[in-house]
Amino acid sequence: MGLGLKNKIGLLGAVGIVVGGVIGMGTFVLIPTIAGKAGPAAWLAITIALVVSILSVLPTIQLSSAMPIAGGGFEYCRRLISPYAGFMVSWLAVIGGACTLSLIATGLLDQFKEFMPSFLSPHIAAMIFVAAFYLFYLLGLQIVTMVQVLLCLQLLISLFMYFTPILFSHDFVLHASLPETPNFILAVIFSFNICLGFQIIIELGEEMKNPGRNIPLALLIGGCIILLVYLSVTFAYISRVGLEHTADKINLISTAAPFYSTIGLAFIRFGVISSGLASYSGGAIALPRELYAMARAKALPPFFEQVDAGGNPSRAVGLFFCIVLAIMGTGNILDHAGFVETYFGPDIIDFYAFLAIFGIMIMTIVMSVAAFRLPKLMPAEYAAAYIRLPKWLLYTLCIVSFLSSGLLIAVIMTKMIILWIYLVILGLVTVLYFTYSKKRLKV
């Protein structure tokens, strides 16, 4: 048996994980894209995505308050639906999260491609970055969490430095309207990609100090900070580029150049690095817990159940980073073969974005079903939960989460290739379950 996970993360660290995990690279990479598709309605696309994301995660908060445990996606669904549902949802979380981290790494290194040697493509550089971050993670959860808080602080300061002089300048113009373009729904899809990450915190139930209190508080405080930051950056960006140039997807940082010296601009640019590292830190802390939970239940080889002397499931983390690298390697091959441009356009970030949101929305639907069944199947845990939503409210939120996620999946399925990719993934997961996991799984 392993040494067991240890309670280490307080409220400040939890807020840092939420804010860093959600904001991440989206602020610098995807807000110009969202503005380009929605124009002055970008604020609405982001608000819709953020509100729906928070509403969708509330049923999961109920689950985590009733059963704070590592690998929540796996444990909740296998106990409240079926072992196969838990196994499937856990892998959807891992694959969707790995696609998100692939997007982050690619977007991060693309921001600095002018500083890289010509023989090194941003995609390969991003893969090197992923491998290097894995080595950093091996320093231990306490150090990674502390660094996460510092990265979030630097990120928020750099974003504050970005939008404050623009919002308070004499030539600031507030561009905010209702949708005026058919591309608005695409803007909402991309907005969901900058609102992913709230689920990260539920993976840390066993390692959270006072999880029943700190998990809901971290989501509430983090959500308010995220909405304020996103809207401020969006309004500032559109004001600087002008409505007539939003479709050009002008680099966000360059729009702050008139307000700062080289040093000030470098500090803001460092925020790109902080956002990427913070996103990676949040994902690397939380998502491998799904693999750890499956191994602990014998659904994966017990090798991945082992934890190191610091109480960290380092082998599960290693497997997760191998999955990220495998996805990025596959994406690189498909990109060079022309597959990505044929179906998604010239930017491989779009490919990763669609893959990530599709998998995570399917996971959200199944988790909503699990939360719906909680009061009936586990009445004692529901009654003892620190946060206990009234049944009528819990059921309503589960239905809202189910329908909103289903609607988003229906829109994404206009790119049928995403469905085929996930059918292949789910096929492989199903084969793994029935050939290895089912007969070993502890029920």
Nearest to 393 by CA among 367, 363, 372: 372
Under 8 Å between Cβ of 272 and 279: no
The span from the CA of 220 to the CA of 232, in Å, is 19
Instruction: Note the Cα 278 to chain centre separation in Å.
Output: 11
Evaluated on CA atoms 378, 383, 387, 393, the torsion sign reads positive
Give me the pLDDT at residue 6, please: 54
Report pLDDT digits (tens) over 317-334: 889 988 988 888 888 888
Q: How do the pLDDT tens digits run along the chain, 443 residues long?
A: 344 445 567 788 778 777 776 776 667 777 888 888 888 898 899 888 888 888 888 888 788 778 877 677 788 888 999 999 999 989 988 898 888 888 777 777 776 676 677 777 777 777 887 777 777 767 666 676 677 677 778 888 888 998 999 999 888 888 888 887 778 887 887 787 777 767 666 656 666 777 767 777 887 888 888 888 889 999 999 988 888 888 877 878 888 888 888 888 888 888 877 777 766 666 777 788 889 889 989 999 989 988 777 667 888 888 998 898 888 888 888 888 888 788 777 777 778 878 888 888 888 889 899 999 999 999 998 998 877 889 999 999 999 888 888 887 887 777 778 888 889 999 999 999 999 998 888 66
The span from the CA of 325 to the CA of 311, in Å, is 25
Q: How does DSSP classify residue 198?
A: G
Measured in degrees and rounded to the nearest 5, phi and psi for residue 61 equal -60, -40
Alpha helices (H) in 141-298, listed in sequence order:
141-167, 184-193, 211-241, 262-286, 288-296
Report pLDDT digits (tens) over 52-98: 888 888 888 788 778 877 677 788 888 999 999 999 989 988 898 88
Under 8 Å between Cβ of 102 and 328: yes
Identify the bridge partners of residue 70 per DSSP, sorted by sequence position.
Answer: 204
Nearest to 419 by CA among 431, 432, 409: 409
The span from the CA of 105 to the CA of 128, in Å, is 9
Tell me the fold of 11-409.
Amino acid/polyamine transporter I (1.20.1740)
**Hey, what amino acid is at 394?**
L
